[in-house]
Amino acid sequence: MTERNVGVAVDFSEGSQAALKWASGHLLRTGDRLVVIHADTCFQNEQGVVHLWESTGSPFIPLAEFDDPGVTKRYGVKPDTGTISILHQIANQKGIEVVVKVYWGDPGVKICEAIEKIPLHCLVIGSRGLGKMKRALLGSVSSYVVHHAVRPVTVVKNSPSD
């Protein structure tokens, strides 16, 4: 039986890899389910999967299936090998279930929806470390999520030592 649904928002950047590593070392425990949330703003898919799941996000994709390039292509996702390796390491070392849920649209909004609808016990999200000027111009997904989430959110900054 799953104790908690622990979410980690992932955009396949170094910041999201740092968030996964932090969650593994400080938060995840045996019996938890790691729910990897990926929200994509650029979605073009000839097969129509995006339109089928656009309002609710994809079904949970088990990590074993997320390894399959055919599956990731179907959902319009391009995970990097580093992130996949970290996910397998977490699953094996912690003995937990890892699933991926893909959303399409504004990442901040979709991550907040996921927190409530899945529901998640908590969420870990990486920070790209934008300066004040860039953050003001581009916005910050982590800032949006912290201010709008209905559950606890931990923001992990990517440090050079990671």
pLDDT at position 56 over 90:
no
CATH class of the 5-157 domain in this structure? alpha beta
pLDDT for 70-124, tens place per residue? 999 888 899 999 999 999 999 999 999 999 999 998 999 999 999 999 999 999 9
- Ranges of each domain in the chain: 5-157
Cβ atoms within 10 Å of 48's Cβ, excluding its own: 9
pTM score over 0.85? yes
pLDDT of residue 157: 86
Count, residues in the chain: 162
